[in-house]
Amino acid sequence: MDEPHAEENSDYVTLSRFDLKAAAGPGRYLDAYQRVGSMQICRSLIMRILRNTSAVAASLALVTVAGDSMEPTIRDGDIVVIDRSVRAIERDGVYIFTLGNETFIKRLQRMPDSIQVNSDNPLYSAWKIHHDQLDELHVHGRVIWGWIGRDI
């Protein structure tokens, strides 16, 4: 992805929007992703999004979700706000990541010998990323807000 981008004026913050449909399902093959536009968001909403995080506006970006594995938390077509400064899984949470050639949006839980990959939809089984696979893991960011008006 391009470098983090957020333009600010007194009333609005402009966040980059990326054409990367993160799979909340079996995974999508990632050919390329690029910045396709931006959205102006009122500063009060940005402050609400940032209030429970250590993120800053310049590290935020918007990504569209594809698939149903994270329902009911995140639905197909929802736009999520990610903190792009997060590049490692240091705590449990919902992340956008690529493993090999597939990109996912999943709830990740650190385990002693692996990372547990969970879907919120009970129709999808959990799976593990083992330590010998970590060199194939690329974290794009942690999801901190769903464009459904609630914390993730």
pLDDT tens column, 27-41: 554 444 555 678 889
Q: What is the DSSP string of the chain?
A: -PPP-EEE-SSEEEEEEEEEEEESSS-EE-----EEEEEEEEHHHHHHHHTTSS--GGGEEEEEEESSTTTTTS-TT-EEEEETT--S--SSEEEEEEETTEEEEEEEEE-SSEEEEE-SSTTS--EEEEGGGGGGEEEEEEEEEETTTEE-
Interatomic CA distance for residues 146 and 143, integer angstroms: 8
Q: Tokens 């054409």 identify what position?
A: 19
Distances (CA, A) of 48 to 21, 57, 59, 60: 25, 11, 15, 13
Burial class (CB in 10 A: 0-12, 13-18, 19+), 47: exposed
Q: Which domains, and CATH codes, for the chain?
A: 6-151 (2.10.109.10)
Give pTM, 2 decimals.
0.82
Q: Rounded distance, CA 51 to CA 60, Å?
A: 13
Quick: pLDDT tens for 68-126. Answer: 999 999 988 888 999 999 999 999 999 999 998 888 999 999 999 999 999 999 999 99
Does the pLDDT of residue 20 top 80, yes or no? no
pLDDT for residue 32: 40
